[in-house]
Structure 1
Amino acid sequence: MSTATTTRIALVTGASRGLGRNTALKLAERGVDVILTFKANEAEAQATVRDIEVLGRKAVALQLDVGDSAQFAAFADRVRRVLATTWHREQFDHLVNNAGTGAHASFAETTEAQFDELMRAHLKGTFFLTQALLPLIADGGRIVNTSSGLARFTFPGYAAYAAMKGGVEVLTRYLAKELASRGITVNTVAPGAVETDFGGGAVRDNAELNAQIAGVTALGRVGRPDDIGSAVASLLSDGNHWITGQRIEVSGGMML
């Protein structure tokens, strides 16, 4: 089903705050409608919906815990109903697998519970949510998975988190190969350090850490949410249909 002459619709997970929210707003600025997910804070999600509507686009917020794959079949059914009632469509165009969680612990002190939580949210969640939504993604659509600069460079305390993101990057290449017959492109965006509340907001709020990261970044500062949201929106724009299976680091040249 081609959607070239209709409004594009993107589904962005974890879009009630942080990078997901910014991505949703940047997409709306480019004329894309949004289905966004939130884990617990519906008020934040509805605020994002209102901000998208101010930009002249449609948006719907749906609850989803990407770390609980048992929810995915029912979630796909809700997406199907929302598409029918809000857009009179059977499919959407873009999937942005953004939602996740963080954990900071040395390798020696990482618990199995921490490891499993990261695995469910980042790797298993991305794998099986994409699988559940695949019938609802239009041929010629796009998928963007979220990795991290930490899958390339290393900082102590992120071994488990980075391992999951490395898995996401490998999965991206396999999806790009297997979904190519439907014209669906699949890429990874890997942010560097960004000033958000992720990880307790340390990069944003700790001036010493912020300066340290800026000092090892070619462009001389820490990333901002707009840097990442704009990159994802650009990747989903019409001119980038020939990019697939790629890891695109959006870090300002961190740790080159």
Structure 2
Amino acid sequence: MAQRAVVTGGGSGLGQAICRELTQRGMEVIVVGRRPEALHETRAMAPKQITTVSADLATESGREELVSAVGEDSLAALVHNAGVLTPIGPLAGVRLEDWRQAQAVNVEAPLFLTQALLNNLQDGGRVLHMSSGAAHHGYAGWGSYCTSKAALHMLYQVLRDELRDRGIAVGSMRPGVVDTPMQSLIREQPPERFPMVQRFMDLHATGQLESPSDVARFTAWLLVEVDADAFSAEEWSFTDPAHRERWGG
């Protein structure tokens, strides 16, 4: 029987590319997202291996829908790729409802989805948090995103230690600045909401954005080929030369 993986936020960008790489390694993938049309595009890449679940993982009902789709099957991997950058702008003006929505998507969904799938992941399963440089550095205009990614990084550290004895390896990875729809959103921001916008416009204009397919190949290698202790020991970075050398891709 083929190994199974769950990839959240797999309707486009990096999530979609990760689904493609995992199926090319012979895995079955349950891909989750909020947009049915985008999920259908992902499924079309490997319709015999990909199952779609249209659900909002920021809600308890959405997580229950995914858990039902997984059933009692074992999972080799759970990839927490879904995330939102918004709200963008100074924290002095952030609205409570927007703040809570961002934390629900970026922090609560990964935690409580992992919690709900512990039995499926036991004895060899891996959980991967898709991190960001924003987890470790504050950027004006990205207060909500930076805070949520910092919280996600702490979840990785705590869950890594708590779940080791259950045979579940928890890892974290920074993909770098990847050419995804999120980058398009960043470049649309006025400087008064995101003062660093010109840097990202320059990266795009000079062809310095990372390719989703390259980052996805690195991610698949990390999930499948790296031993469990190394997978969990440190936060991996696609742009770190030492990590790239170990990958050999």
Moved more, 224-233 or 123-132: 224-233
Maintained 8 Å contact 1:14/1:98: yes
Instruction: State the SS of the aligned residue for 2:150.
Output: helix
- Cα distance in 1 for partners of 2:142, 2:201 equals 20
Quote the Cα distance in structure 2 between the aligned partners of 1:153 and 1:250.
Answer: 17
- Number of residue pairs the alignment of both structures matches: 233
Contact 2:171 2:235 in 1 (8 A): yes
Give structure 2 stretches of 5+ with no counterpart.
189-196, 242-249
* Residues 192-240 of structure 1: CA deviation (Å, up to 9, x unaligned): 2222111544459xx954464479xxxx822221232122111111333
CA distance in 2, matches of 1:122, 1:144: 13
Is 1:168 aligned to residue 152 of structure 2?
A: yes
The answer to whether the Cα contact below 8 Å between 2:139 and 2:146 also exists between their aligned partners in 1 is no
User: 1 CA distance for matches of 2:217 and 2:208?
Assistant: 17
Q: Is the 8 A contact 1:150 1:192 kept in 2?
A: no
- 8 Å CA contact retained: 1:191, 1:249: yes
Structure-1 residue corresponding to 2:209: 222
**Counterpart mapping for 1:104-253 below 5 A:** 104-198=88-182, 200-203=184-187, 209-210=199-200, 212-213=202-203, 221-243=208-230, 244-251=232-239
Distance 1:131 1:240, change over 3 A: same
TM-score (norm 1): 0.81
Tell whether 2:78 aligns with 1:95: yes
C-alpha separation between the residues in 2 aligned to 1:159 and 1:58?
38
Aligned to 2:192: none
Moved more, 9-18 or 145-154: 145-154
Following superposition, the deviation at residue 147 of structure 1 comes to 1.6
Q: Please give the secondary structure, in 1, of the residue aligned with 2:216.
A: helix
Distance apart, 1:95 and its partner CA: 0.3
Aligned residue for 2:32? 37
Structure 1: how far apart are the matches of 2:62 and 2:38? 21
What runs of 5+ residues in structure 1 fail to find an aligned partner? 1-5, 84-89
Return the offset for 1:127: 0.7
2:64 is matched with which residue? 73
For the aligned residue pairs, the C-alpha RMSD in angstroms reads: 2.7
Any idea what the Cα deviations from partners look like across 1:84-142, whole Å, max 9, x if unmatched? xxxxxx21210001112121112222221221111100111111111111122241111
- Alpha-carbon offset, residue 68 of structure 1: 0.9
Report the secondary structure of 1:242's partner residue: helix
TM-score with structure 2 length normalisation? 0.83
Tell me the SS of whatever aligns to 2:9. coil
User: Does 238-247 or 100-109 show the bigger shift?
Assistant: 238-247
Report the CA distance shift for 1:238/1:60 in structure 2 as closer, same or farther (over 3 A).
Answer: same
Shift in CA distance, 10/68, structure 1 to aligned 2, threshold 3 Å: same
Q: How far apart, in 1, do the equivalents of 2:233 and 2:58 lie?
A: 24
C-alpha distance in 2, partners of 1:163/1:143?
A: 21
Contact 1:188 1:245 in 2 (8 A): no
Residue 53 of structure 2: SS of its match in structure 1?
A: strand
* Structure 1 ranges of 4+ moved more than 6 A: none
Give aligned-pair identity as a percent: 25
CA displacement, residues 143-173 of structure 1 (integer Å, 9 cap, x when unaligned): 1011211112343211111111111111111
